[in-house]
Structure 1
Amino acid sequence: MDFIFFDADGRYFNFLCLYQILYKPVILTIFSAMQTMRWAFMLCTISQLDVLIYNFENMKELVKAGNCEINEAFKDGFKKNIVHHCAIIQFVNTIGRAFGGQILLFFMINSFIICTTAVQFFSIPNPLNNIMELVWIFGFLFIMIIMLYIDCYFGTIITEKGSQISMTVYCFPWIDLKQDLKKQFIIFFVRNQQDLVINASKLIPVSMTTFRKVMNWTYKGFAVLNQMRK
């Protein structure tokens, strides 16, 4: 991409200089947009789960305050919350289908980049004489690890919030409900037993457990390459 074979006095040299100036910011902008897009969708899911949890808790508060009879509070709020919950599940599945391949590819490429960059970091001769090179490589390594961590962290938060919904609904005084409302409660509780997980291409769950596994394999690869270098 450096085009070193072009003559500096050629007619196209100015256009090549302009390209060299623009392509890096453009690539960086596109990469940042693609990376932060799925983070935005994950944050949107987390916020919607918080809203849903609040709505379920609000049903209990209405009963405790005596502003509403228990069956009435459950009947009015439960159906709306069920629709909201189904929409969140569908949205999470859409995120998995849209970004699953990208996330899986990012896991593989990122682990390889972290491994090779770490080897490069420890291969610098005379570290005290190459402080700036150390800073740049360490900064790049830190950014790649943080990007991987954010994906897995948001995925774990979504799973935990999904489990919190079950606990919040279970704490509702459902024993005092009418028989038909109890059936609705049991159906929802059984259907919500499955964890709310974003999967990378339906193969790897995006979670902190996956982050630890990826870093573990990355360290093993680094150890092998570093040993070969020696």
Structure 2
Amino acid sequence: MSEAGECIAEHTRLLRLVGYLRGGGAAHAAYRAAALALTSLYLLQECVYAYRARSDMTKLSRVMFLLLCHVTSIVKQIVFHVDAGRIDKMIEDLDGAVYNSGGWRGRQLRAGTSARARRVVRVYAGCAVLTCTLWLLFAALDRARGRPVEFPFCTGLSADHPLEFTLVLLYSYYVTTLVGIANTTMDAFIATILYQCQTQFKILRMELEELPDSAWKISLKTGLEYDKILMEMFVERLYHYKKITEMANLLQDIFNTAIVVQFGIGGWILCMAAYKLVSLNVLSIEFASMTLFIVCILTELFLYCYYGTELTVESERLASSVYAMRWLCTSVRFRRALVLLMERARRPLRPAAARVVPLSLDTFLKILKSSYTFYAVLRQTK
């Protein structure tokens, strides 16, 4: 795998492991279909439970934050099924030579991006697994103490018998952990592609600032005409810029619907989770698990908005980098080409869900405000 492709190596491995990303062979295709069917069945069971508990706000809040979270997960899972071909192409494109240029400084930037991306997905997915494990532990301890345990989904079983309780508990743990790992990894995957685009802009800006000097060194070494080398290198940078914008636009086109659903439902998930949290004992395991869950949801929304903002800021700097190069000693033809690039760079990349909702920190703050508004309304109507 290339240096640029290495940034999503951990993500693709996990997504294939849980059956969300397309792998090789018919066996893995059957496994993916089974994973989708299982998560859909679990969501249906949650919907039935929510309908039955619609008059009990305590029970309803207990299931709604998970139900809504599973809705967003299945939407992303369906996108990975429907757009598997374009997602595979996006992954393969990162192995191209254009994304792995920039010399030793480019390698350093890509290595740093890959290392940070690995840390994010491991911590993020690990937090989800820990949350699900605490839910498992909480139910098991309540059962051991003789307290009644009610699962927030319709099972069709009483769960009074030890064997039935164990089967339902393990089923719930498996599905929630599967969804937790997949959901967090899909979020980290999308965010990492945005991060890689940001890194590619850094490399491109660095190469453009040094373009005349680099062309002059090659001309002295090879004896070739300076202007010809300069224009060839400029065309290569222009192609690099085109590929970065194509990658960002492809990512946006593929995950438009999923991100819109995530933003639309994210506020409600936080609202329902907070409503449940305030009724818990601060020193209880359930309080710790709910806190971790809220951290996961906040991270989920923050990753999109943070890396979307960073990509916009980095693309805005491109015109300044073009102007910063030593262009006074270049030909008129080359300067005209620079003017055209600067005019194009004045329209920076602004990732947006459905081309309407910007992936920016302002959007993140608006979601938090709307979530608090929903929560305040629920508390008043309790």
TM-score tier, shorter chain, comes to 0.7 to 0.9
* CA shift for structure 1 position 191: 1.2
Aligned with residue 279 of structure 2, among 105, 119, 123:
123
Q: Which secondary structure state, in structure 2, belongs to the residue aligned with residue 197 of structure 1?
A: coil
CA distance, structure 1, for counterparts of residue 239 and residue 291 of structure 2:
47
Query: 2:258 aligns to what?
Result: 102
Higher relative contact order (CA 8 A, sep 6+): 1
Query: 1:186 aligns to what?
Result: 339
Superposed CA deviations along residues 72-124 of structure 1, whole A, max 9, x for unmatched, are 66424211100100111111110110111111111111111111212222233
Structure 1 residues 213 and 22: alpha-carbon distance in aligned structure 2, compared to 1, 3 A threshold? closer
Aligned with residue 160 of structure 1, among 294, 297, 313:
313
* CA shift for structure 1 position 209: 1.6
- 2:247 is equivalent to residue 91 of structure 1: yes
- 2:208 is equivalent to residue 56 of structure 1: yes
* CA shift for structure 1 position 165: 1.4
> 214-223 or 101-110: which moved more?
214-223
- 2:190 is equivalent to residue 38 of structure 1: yes
CA distance, structure 1, for counterparts of residue 173 and residue 273 of structure 2:
25
Structure 1 residues 8 and 195: alpha-carbon distance in aligned structure 2, compared to 1, 3 A threshold? same
* CA shift for structure 1 position 132: 2.3
**Given that residues 152 and 207 in structure 1 are in contact (C-alpha distance below 8 angstroms), is that contact kept between their aligned partners in structure 2?**
yes
The letter of the residue matching 1:87 is: K
Aligned with residue 364 of structure 2, among 177, 191, 211:
211
The letter of the residue matching 1:32 is: T
**Given that residues 199 and 206 in structure 1 are in contact (C-alpha distance below 8 angstroms), is that contact kept between their aligned partners in structure 2?**
yes
**Given that residues 2 and 20 in structure 1 are in contact (C-alpha distance below 8 angstroms), is that contact kept between their aligned partners in structure 2?**
no
**Given that residues 215 and 233 in structure 2 are in contact (C-alpha distance below 8 angstroms), is that contact kept between their aligned partners in structure 1?**
no
> 212-221 or 68-77: which moved more?
68-77
Structure 1 residues 112 and 56: alpha-carbon distance in aligned structure 2, compared to 1, 3 A threshold? same
* CA shift for structure 1 position 34: 2.4
TM-score norm. by structure 1 comes to: 0.82
**Given that residues 219 and 229 in structure 2 are in contact (C-alpha distance below 8 angstroms), is that contact kept between their aligned partners in structure 1?**
no
Structure 1 residues 116 and 7: alpha-carbon distance in aligned structure 2, compared to 1, 3 A threshold? closer
* CA shift for structure 1 position 201: 1.0
**Given that residues 104 and 200 in structure 1 are in contact (C-alpha distance below 8 angstroms), is that contact kept between their aligned partners in structure 2?**
yes
Question: Unaligned 5+ residue runs, structure 1?
Answer: none
Q: Where in structure 1 do 4 or more consecutive aligned residues deviate above 6 Å? A: 6-9, 12-18, 63-70
The letter of the residue matching 1:51 is: I
Structure 1 residues 70 and 17: alpha-carbon distance in aligned structure 2, compared to 1, 3 A threshold? same
> 102-111 or 62-71: which moved more?
62-71
* CA shift for structure 1 position 137: 1.6
* CA shift for structure 1 position 8: 8.4
Query: 2:238 aligns to what?
Result: 82
* CA shift for structure 1 position 202: 1.0
- 2:287 is equivalent to residue 134 of structure 1: yes
- 2:315 is equivalent to residue 177 of structure 1: no
Query: 2:103 aligns to what?
Result: none
CA distance, structure 2, for counterparts of residue 16 and residue 172 of structure 1:
65
- Amino-acid identity (%): 20
* CA shift for structure 1 position 65: 8.2
Q: Would you say how many aligned residue pairs link Structure 1 and Structure 2?
A: 224
The letter of the residue matching 1:186 is: V
Question: Unaligned 5+ residue runs, structure 2?
Answer: 1-152
The letter of the residue matching 2:359 is: V
CA distance, structure 2, for counterparts of residue 202 and residue 110 of structure 1:
18
CA distance, structure 2, for counterparts of residue 225 and residue 18 of structure 1:
32
The letter of the residue matching 2:258 is: Q
**Given that residues 271 and 372 in structure 2 are in contact (C-alpha distance below 8 angstroms), is that contact kept between their aligned partners in structure 1?**
yes
Q: CA RMSD in A?
A: 3.0
> 45-54 or 204-213: which moved more?
45-54
- 2:270 is equivalent to residue 114 of structure 1: yes
CA distance, structure 1, for counterparts of residue 167 and residue 292 of structure 2:
32
The letter of the residue matching 1:34 is: M
TM-score norm. by structure 2 comes to: 0.52
CA distance, structure 2, for counterparts of residue 13 and residue 116 of structure 1:
26
